[in-house]
C-alpha cells in the first residue's frame, strides 16, 4: 500500500497553481513571453516557499514539446518526465552532498554537450550555498558564459553565504514567506478536494504553526489527518501541536492585566496539565502584546489572530502603553532564557510571576498633557530608586478637607520608615476608620497583588516602630471613595505644578520674550520636586 504525501501530491505544476510569489511569477512569465531569458537564475527564501517548484516549472516551460510557453501543457513526454523526476536533460544536484571541487568539475565537463531530448540542458543546484570555495571558483567561468543550450537554476535558503561573484552573474528572485491566510486557504482547498471534514479553527492553528512555509503546513496537515483518524479537528490539532486554545491565552492576559493572582494560578495549573510547547506559548503571548500595542496606537483598524476583538479592546483600554511595552520586553527575555530554566514549565510560570510582580502601580500623574508630538519622560524614567530605608515624605496640605482620622493616618505614615513592597502597599491604602495603633484600610481590588504577606508584615513592623508599640491593620478589598496617599501626593504635586506655571507665565521677563521672540512655555514641561 503506497501513499503519496500531500506536499508531493499537491505540488504546483504550472505557474497559475502557485500560492503567493506573484512578483516572481510575473517576472518569469514576462521574460518567457518576450524571449528575454537569462542563462542563470537564483531563487532565495526560507524552506517550503516554492524555490525548487518554480525551478521545475521553469524547466517545463523551456522544454515542453509544444513549444516554449509560460503555460506548459503538462501532458507531453517532456513535461511528464520532468514532473516524475526522470527527464535526462534536467540535472538536479544537491549541493549539500556534492561540495567537493572534483564533483563540480565532473559536472561541468558535460556542459559543452548538447541536450539529449529537450531544447535546453538545465542544471538545478539546490542549497547552492553549501558548495566549497574551490567549487564556486570552478563554477564561475561557466556560470558567466555558458553554452546557449544551458540554463542554470540555483536555489538557496542562505544567500548571504554566496560569493558576490556568483550573485553578480545571476538574476536573483527573493521568495517571500507565505501569509497565514494564504496557507489556510490552500489547506482548505486541498481538504475540500480530498473530501475530508475539518474545522476552521484547526486550519488556523496549522497555518500559524507552518510559520510561512506551505510545505510545512502540508506536512502538519498529513500529521493531523493521521492523529485525527481521517478528519481535522481543532482540539486534536492543538493537542498535536502542543498549544492551547486561544481563550486560555486571553484569560491569562486578562488575569495579568487585573493583577488577579487567583485567576492566574488557575490558568497556570490548567496549562500545566496539558502537553504544551512553552516556547511557542511565549511566542503567541508576544504576538498578543504586539497586537495590544498596535491597537492602542493605530486604533480600531487593528485586529488580532490570538484573541477576539472584544478581548483586544479590553486589554488595550485596561493597560497603559508603558505597561504593554514592559510586558513585551519581559516576555521576550523570558523566551530567550527559557532553556536556562530547570524545565520549560518552571521557566514559563516564573515569567508569568515576574510579569505580575513588576506590574506598574501607583497614583495617576496629574500633570497637564503635553501637546501632540511632544516627548515627556514616562513614570518609569522619572522613578528614583530606593537604595536605603527612608522616612515617608509628609504629603502636602490638601486643598480639600479630610475626613476624621485621615490626617492621623497620613501623619503616621510620615513617621514610618518604609521601602519596597511595604511602601507601595502603604501608598495605595485609604483609611476607613481607626486611630493610634488600630486601623481599618481599603485597597482597590485591582491592586490585590500588592497585599502580599511580606508587604503586609513589613508595613506592620514599620508602623509598630513608629508608634513605639503594638500596631494592627485590617485591609479590605473595596472601591475607594477617598484618596490614598499616592493619589493625595499626585494631586498635591499637580497643584504645585499648576501654581508654578501660573507664576512663571506672570513673570514680566518671560512675557517680554514671548512678545519679542515668539517664545512659549510647553505645557507639562515644568517639574516641581
Co-location of 156 and 29 in the same domain: yes
Q: What is the CATH number of the domain that holds 96?
A: 3.40.50.300
Cα separation, 141 vs 132, in Å, equals 16
Co-location of 424 and 461 in the same domain: yes
Looking at residue 361, its pLDDT comes to 54
Looking at residue 523, its pLDDT comes to 64
Q: Is residue 468 part of a domain?
A: yes
Q: Is residue 376 part of a domain?
A: no
For the entire predicted model, the pTM comes to 0.58
Co-location of 237 and 124 in the same domain: no
Co-location of 294 and 438 in the same domain: no
- Max distance between CA atoms of the chain, in angstroms, equals 104
What are 464's strand-pairing partners? none
Co-location of 195 and 274 in the same domain: no
Co-location of 170 and 146 in the same domain: yes
Q: Is residue 455 part of a domain?
A: yes
Co-location of 210 and 287 in the same domain: no
Co-location of 88 and 43 in the same domain: yes
Co-location of 18 and 165 in the same domain: yes
Looking at residue 481, its pLDDT comes to 62
Please say which residue of 209, 241, 273 terminates a domain: 241
Residues present in the chain in total: 529
DSSP 95-126: TTT--SHHHHHHHHTTTTSPPSSSS-EEEEEE
Co-location of 315 and 193 in the same domain: no
Looking at residue 365, its pLDDT comes to 38
Which residues form the domain of 276?
246-357
Co-location of 273 and 289 in the same domain: yes
Looking at residue 302, its pLDDT comes to 84
Give pLDDT tens digits for 297-315.
887 778 887 888 888 888 9
Cα separation, 176 vs 212, in Å, equals 8
Secondary structure of 420-443 as H, E, C letters? HHHHHHHHHCEEEEEECCEEEEEE
Co-location of 157 and 284 in the same domain: no
Looking at residue 376, its pLDDT comes to 38
Counted domains in the chain: 4
Residues in the chain predicted with pLDDT less than 50, given as ranges, are: 1, 362-402, 404
Please say which residue of 159, 174, 189 terminates a domain: 174
Amino acid at each position: 500500500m503506497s501513499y503519496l504525501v500531500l506536499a508531493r501530491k499537491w505540488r504546483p505544476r504550472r505557474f497559475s497553481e502557485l500560492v503567493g510569489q506573484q512578483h516572481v511569477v510575473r517576472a518569469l512569465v514576462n521574460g518567457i513571453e518576450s524571449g528575454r531569458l537569462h542563462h542563470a537564475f537564483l531563487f532565495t527564501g526560507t524552506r517550503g516557499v516554492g524555490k525548487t517548484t518554480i525551478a521545475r516549472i521553469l524547466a517545463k516551460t523551456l522544454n515542453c514539446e509544444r513549444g516554449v510557453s509560460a503555460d506548459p501543457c503538462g501532458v507531453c513526454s517532456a513535461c511528464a518526465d520532468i514532473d516524475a523526476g526522470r527527464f535526462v536533460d534536467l540535472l538536479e544536484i544537491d549541493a549539500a552532498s556534492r561540495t567537493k571541487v572534483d564533483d563540480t568539475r565532473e559536472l561541468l565537463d558535460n556542459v559543452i554537450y548538447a541536450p539529449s531530448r529537450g531544447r535546453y540542458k538545465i542544471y538545478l543546484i539546490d542549497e547552492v550555498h553549501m558548495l566549497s570555495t574551490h567549487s564556486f571558483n570552478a563554477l564561475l567561468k561557466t556560470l558567466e558564459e555558458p553554452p546557449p543550450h544551458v540554463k542554470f537554476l540555483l536555489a538557496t535558503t542562505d544567500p548571504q553565504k554566496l560569493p558576490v561573484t556568483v550573485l553578480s552573474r545571476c538574476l536573483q528572485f527573493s521568495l517571500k514567506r507565505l501569509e497565514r491566510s494564504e496557507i489556510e486557504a490552500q489547506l482548505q482547498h486541498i481538504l475540500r478536494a480530498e473530501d475530508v471534514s475539518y474545522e476552521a479553527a484547526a486550519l488556523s492553528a496549522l497555518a500559524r504553526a507552518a510559520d510561512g512555509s506551505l510545505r510545512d503546513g502540508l506536512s502538519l496537515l498529513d500529521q493531523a489527518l493521521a492523529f485525527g483518524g481521517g478528519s481535522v479537528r481543532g482540539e486534536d490539532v492543538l493537542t498535536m501541536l502542543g498549544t492551547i486554545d486561544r481563550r486560555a491565552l486571553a484569560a491569562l492576559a486578562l488575569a495579568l492585566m487585573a493583577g488577579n493572582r487567583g485567576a492566574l494560578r488557575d490558568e497556570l495549573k490548567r496549562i500545566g496539565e496539558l502537553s504544551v510547547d512553552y516556547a511557542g506559548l511565549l511566542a503567541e503571548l508576544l504576538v498578543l502584546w504586539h497586537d495590544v500595542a498596535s491597537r492602542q496606537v493605530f486604533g480600531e483598524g487593528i485586529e488580532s489572530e490570538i484573541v477576539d476583538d472584544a478581548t483586544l479592546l479590553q486589554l488595550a483600554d485596561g493597560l497603559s502603553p508603558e505597561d504593554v511595552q514592559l510586558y513585551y520586553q519581559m516576555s521576550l527575555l523570558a523566551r530567550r532564557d527559557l532553556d536556562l530554566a530547570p524545565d520549560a514549565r518552571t521557566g514559563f510560570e516564573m515569567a508569568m510571576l515576574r510579569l505580575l510582580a513588576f506590574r506598574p502601580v501607583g497614583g495617576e500623574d496629574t500633570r497637564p498633557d503635553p501637546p501632540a508630538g511632544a516627548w515627556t519622560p514616562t513614570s518609569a524614567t522619572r522613578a528614583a530608586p530606593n537604595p536605603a530605608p527612608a522616612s515617608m515624605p509628609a504629603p502636602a496640605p490638601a486643598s480639600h478637607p479630610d475626613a476624621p482620622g485621615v490626617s492621623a493616618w497620613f501623619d503616621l505614615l510620615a513617621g514610618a520608615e518604609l521601602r519596597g513592597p511595604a511602601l507601595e502597599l502603604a501608598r495605595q491604602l485609604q483609611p476607613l476608620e481607626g486611630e493610634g495603633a488600630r486601623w481599618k484600610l481599603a485597597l482597590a481590588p485591582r491592586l490585590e497583588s500588592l497585599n502580599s504577606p511580606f508587604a503586609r508584615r513589613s508595613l506592620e513592623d514599620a508602623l509598630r516602630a513608629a508608634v513605639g508599640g503594638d500596631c494592627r491593620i485590617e485591609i479590605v478589598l473595596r472601591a475607594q471613595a477617598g484618596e490614598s496617599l499616592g493619589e493625595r501626593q499626585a494631586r498635591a504635586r499637580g497643584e504645585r505644578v499648576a501654581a508654578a506655571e501660573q507664576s512663571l507665565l506672570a513673570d514680566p521677563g518671560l512675557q517680554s520674550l514671548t512678545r519679542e521672540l515668539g517664545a512659549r512655555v510647553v505645557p507639562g514641561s515644568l517639574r516641581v520636586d
